[in-house]
Structure 1
Amino acid sequence: MKKIIMVMTLIISSFSLTGIANAASSYTVQTGDSLWKISNKFGVPLSAIRESNNQYNNLIYAGETLTIPSTITESEKELFARLVQAEAKGEPYAGKVAVATVVLNRVDSSKFPNTIKEVIYQRSNGYYAFSPVENGEINKPANSESRQAVDEALAFRGQGRGSLYFYNPDTAESEWILTREVTTTIGDHRFAK
C-alpha cells in the first residue's frame, strides 16, 4: 500500500512539475533590451513579467535571466491573430491592437467567457459575436502585422480604456451598439464599453 501511495505521489508530482515547466520559460537579457521590448517579444503582459521576477521597477541588466510566464497557447495565439486579421483588415496597426485588446478585455470581464477561444466562438441569440466566425474569414491565415498586434495587446493587457465592443458606424445594424459609451475611434472602428 505504501508503494502505491508513493508511486501515485510521484506521478502527481511529475504532472505538477510538467505543468510548471510548460507555464514559463527563461530569457537572458541582451544589450538594448527593456522589459517593454521583452514583453512585446513574448506577448506577455509587462506586469506578469515583473510579478514572475519580483521586479518592482523597469531596471534590468544584460546577462540577467528572466522568467517569462506563459499566458496563452500557441494555438490560441494563432486563432487570436486570425480573428484580428479578419476583423481589422485594412485598418491601421493601432486598430488591430485595439481589436485584440477588446478580446482580452472580454476574457478579463465577468460578463464574457474566460478564455480567448470561448470569447471568439461565443454565440448569442443564434449569432456569433464576431462576424468572421460566422462567415468563415477566421479560417484564413493571419499576417505578421496581426500576430504582432496580438503580442502587443497581450503585453499591454489590462492597461487600456476598458473597451468591450467595436463596430463600424457606417455598417452597424444594431441600435444597441450605438448606445454604448465610445472610448476611442481608430480608422473605421469605434471602440466602446
Structure 2
Amino acid sequence: MKKLMTVITVLLSLLFTSPAFAYTVNSGDTMSGIARSHNLSLQELASLNPQIQNLDLIYVGQTIHTELQEVNAIGQAVHTASKPEITVGYSENELDLLARLVRAEAESEPYQGKVAVACVVLNRVASPAFPNSIKEVIYQKGQFQPVRNGAINQPADGDSIKAVQEALDEKRNTAAGSLFFYNPSTATNRWLDSKTTTLVIGHHVFKK
C-alpha cells in the first residue's frame, strides 16, 4: 500500500508541475541562437521563459527552458512543446553578407572593431526590436550606409570573414549589449549621441 501511494504521489507531482527540459547557457550563447538550435522561434522560447525580462541579457550558467512535458494517463512522459531536433545555423550566404558588411563598415578599423561590427548585427538578430535574420537586419531600411551606397556588394576580405567567424564563437561578447555603432566625426545624424555608450574601438562608438 505504501509503495502504491508513493507511485501515485510521483504521478500527481508530474501531472501538476509539467517539468521543463532545460538548457544551460554557455559563453557566446544568445536567446536567438538557443531558439534556432532547438528549432523554436524566438517568441516561442521567450514564452517558455517568462522569467527572462530582457532577451538580450542572459548569462553563463543560466537555465533556459526549451520544451515542456506532460504525463499521459498511464504516467508516461510526453513531449508537448518541442519540435523535431535539427541543427540550424546561419547559411553560407548570410555569413558572406555579414562579412561584406563588416568590410564595408570597418575596413580601416582595428580587427577588434570588425568583430564588434559583426556582433552588433548578431545582437540585432537576437533582439526582439529588430528582424530575426542576418539578411533582414542588414537590409532593414535606413540602417546601414553600405546598403544605400552599394559598398555591400563588394567581396569580403580575409579579416572580415575571420571576424565574422570569431563573432559567432569565442568573441561573441565583444560588443555585448550593443545594437548600434557610428563614427561621431563623420555622422550627419546625431540621434545616437544620447544613447548609452558600450565601448569605443578605433573611430567607431558602440551604443545600446
TM-score bracket, shorter-length normalisation: 0.5 to 0.7
Question: 1:171 matched to which residue of 2?
Answer: 186
Q: Say if 2:116 and 2:174, in contact at 8 Å, map to a contact too.
A: no
Q: Are 2:151 and 1:134 equivalent residues in the alignment?
A: no
Q: How does 1:22-171 map to 2 (within 5 A)?
A: 69-123=87-141, 128-155=142-169, 156-157=171-172, 160-171=175-186
Alignment pair present for 1:184 and 2:175: no
Judge conservation of contact 2:106–2:113 (CA < 8 Å) in 1.
yes
Query: What CA deviation, in whole Å up to 9, does each residue of 1:46-97 have, x standing for no partner?
Result: 7879xx8xxxx9xxxxxxxxxxx55200011111100000000100100000
* Superposed structure 1 runs of 4+ greater than 6 Å apart: 46-49
Looking at structure 2, the residues matched to 105 and 97 of structure 1 have their Cα atoms a distance apart, in angstroms, of 12
SS at match of 2:181: strand
Matching of residues 9-24 of structure 1 within 5 Å:
none
Radius of gyration: which is bigger? 2
User: CA 1:172/1:161 → structure 2, altered by over 3 Å: closer, same or farther?
Assistant: same
SS at match of 1:151: helix
The structure whose residues are more often helix, as a share, is: 1
Q: Secondary structure, in 3 states, of the residue corresponding to 1:171?
A: coil
The SS at the match of 1:114 is coil
Q: 1:113 to 1:158 in 2, by over 3 A?
A: farther
**Per-residue deviation at 1:161?**
2.3
TM-score (norm 2): 0.57
Unaligned runs of 5+ in 2: 1-26, 38-60, 62-86
Q: Contact (CA 8 Å) 2:113, 2:201: kept in 1 or not?
A: yes
The root-mean-square deviation of aligned C-alpha atoms, in Å, is 2.7
Aligned partner letter, 2:166: E
The number of aligned residues is 132
What is the one-letter code of the residue matched to 1:101?
C
What is the CA-CA distance between 1:157 and the residue it aligns to? 3.5
Displacement of 1:159 in angstroms is 7.0
Cα pair 1:86 1:138 within 8 Å, conserved: yes
For 2:200, what is the secondary structure of its paired residue? strand
Partner letter of residue 79 of structure 1?
L
Question: Contact conserved, 1:166 with 1:189, CA < 8 A, in 2?
Answer: yes
Q: Which amino acid aligns with 1:166?
A: F
CA contact (8 A) 1:105 1:158 kept: no
Residues 177 and 133 of structure 1, relative CA distance in 2, 3 Å threshold: same
Structure 1 unmatched ranges of 5 or more: 1-38, 40-44, 58-68
